[in-house]
Structure 1
Amino acid sequence: MLDDPEAVAAELSNQELECLAGVADVTRLLTIFNDPGAATTEEQVQLINCLQDETLTRMFLTGLVQEMGALSTETSACVRAGFSEIDLRSVMLAGLHRDPQTAMAGSMAALFLTLACLNQEEWNAAAPAMDMGPSDREGMQCLLAEMGGPEGMAAALEAEDESGFMALLAAAAGCGLEMGGPPSQVPVVPTGTPPANETVPAEIETAARKFLAGELEVDEADLRLDISEGVQWSDASLGCPQEGMLYAQVITPGYKLVFGHAGMSHAVHTNSGGSHMVVCGEGR
């Protein structure tokens, strides 16, 4: 069965243990298994490359398993079969290699697959953390089917524009699901993170200034840059979730730039490459 992280750590194969011996000591490894986000980027890459697919699956589901307990034999088999369509190792490494879009798409597909596999008792335990009700289980199964299974869902969500999310929301509505905000228990895929207060690249600042000027309908030269820093957003919303959008809790590296104009402050949040930007309210 897919169960708790301490059991996962205790059941590593000899091959995995030999590989991990060069990564960290036993105490440190147990800390990482319980809280993958506590590992450094280097530790995360080494850990992911050392572990077998089964172990990665169990680690990925740590948050959900801690919420609801061990998954049944039938649910575990369903999850394993579905995960065969998702290269979980590549999904995890994508986050560390500054490809948050791939990491987000893969993690959401894996999450929805897991939810669709749950039996009614497991669903009842998980539903409150996902802001869903007991009756939404069939809707989740419908959603996964409408999106073409985990592989089709991941492909749709990897689209560079918002078409994949719009397709997801449309399918959810057709299946009787309401998705009005980010779920609180989406498994976290680790990502590479800019150091705190990292200097914002000039091209990111230029793009953010142009973006904000367009949003405010003002001249770029009238915007005064007050704050610019590297940050790690706790999810793919870049710190500013929009109503009606669903976001994975993927730690996303990026930048925060605060511009002053006409006595007001306007924060622009970006991902690390500057391909996604959002304006947060005054002072945020």
Structure 2
Amino acid sequence: MRVVAKLMAVGLILISCGDPVLTDATEPSEPASTTSGTRPAFETMPPLTTLGGVPGDLPASHWEAILADLSSREVATNGVALIEALEVTWNDGALGCPQPGVAYTQALVDGMKVTVEADGTRYTYHFGANGPPILCVKGRPA
């Protein structure tokens, strides 16, 4: 019995030490702000050399991969023109074109950013050191 009384006394003391909450019951309180000053996890950044890449010679394998991708999208490949080929270093494995909800390696990746034009439409492809090209439309994989 004495133990219960002691526990109740300690509980009463602890409750009375808390900060009082002074709100008017007739007015709704404002919700707490949920914004955070930190960056969300896995947010990717634009490539390090977005505009200042080094013009490079486009490897034949890259050109063939671009033509194959355009063909798979039913784009005529007989009039495809190379607009720009830049050697870049991407900030991570997303190659500057992240897909929402996907985690990528967090390491610098050497690659290329290649822009071509076919039938009056420009297509921008991102390449890593290996693997297929990524057609990037408005910062997202197409």
TM (norm. structure 2) is 0.56
Question: 1:279 & 1:250 partners in 2: Cα distance?
Answer: 21
* Residue 76 (structure 2) pairs with residue 219 (structure 1): yes
How far off its partner does 1:282 sit? Answer: 6.4
Q: CA deviation at 1:222?
A: 3.1
List, as ranges, runs of 4+ consecutive aligned residues in structure 1 with deviation greater than 4 Å. 127-130
- Give the Cα separation in 1 of the matches to 2:95 and 2:54: 15
| CA gap 1:264/1:282 in 2 versus in 1, 3 angstroms | farther
What TM-score does the superposition give when structure 1 sets the normalisation length?
0.30
Structure number with greater CO (CA < 8 Å, separation at least 6) is 2
Task: Kindly indicate whether residue 89 of structure 2 is the aligned counterpart of residue 232 of structure 1.
Answer: yes
Question: Aligned partner of 2:128: which letter?
Answer: N
**Gap change, CA 1:283 and 1:261, over 3 Å in 2:** farther
Structure with the higher fraction of residues in strand conformation: 2
Tell me, yes or no, if structure 1 residue 266 matches structure 2 residue 84.
Answer: no
Q: 1:280 to 1:204 in 2, by over 3 A?
A: same
How far apart are the structure 2 equivalents of 1:237 and 1:213? 24
- Percent identity over the alignment is 26
Which of 253, 256, 277 does residue 113 from structure 2 map onto?
Answer: 256
Tell me what 1:278 maps to: 134
Which SS does the other structure have where 1:211 is aligned?
A: helix
For 2:37 and 2:133, the matched residues in 1 are separated by 31
1:138 aligned residue: none
- Where structure 1 has 5 or more consecutive residues not aligned to the other structure, the ranges are 1-126, 133-181, 185-194
Secondary structure in structure 2 of the residue aligned to 1:221: coil
More helix by share: 1
- What is the distance in 1 between the residues matched to 2:92 and 2:81? 28
CA 1:219/1:264 → structure 2, altered by over 3 Å: closer, same or farther? closer
Alpha-carbon RMSD: 2.9
Please name the residue that 1:165 is paired with. Answer: none
| Paired residues of 2:96 and 2:126 also in contact (CA < 8 A) | yes
Pair 129,250 (structure 1): closer, same or farther in 2 beyond 3 Å: farther
Q: Tell me the equivalent position of 1:199.
A: 57
Contact 1:234–1:252 (8 Å) recurs in 2 = yes
Query: Which structure has the larger Rg over C-alpha atoms?
Result: 2
Contact 1:205 1:257 (C-alpha < 8 Å) held by counterparts = no
Q: Is the Cα–Cα contact under 8 Å of residues 183 and 247 in structure 1 kept in the other structure?
A: no
CA contact (8 A) 2:76 2:119 kept: no
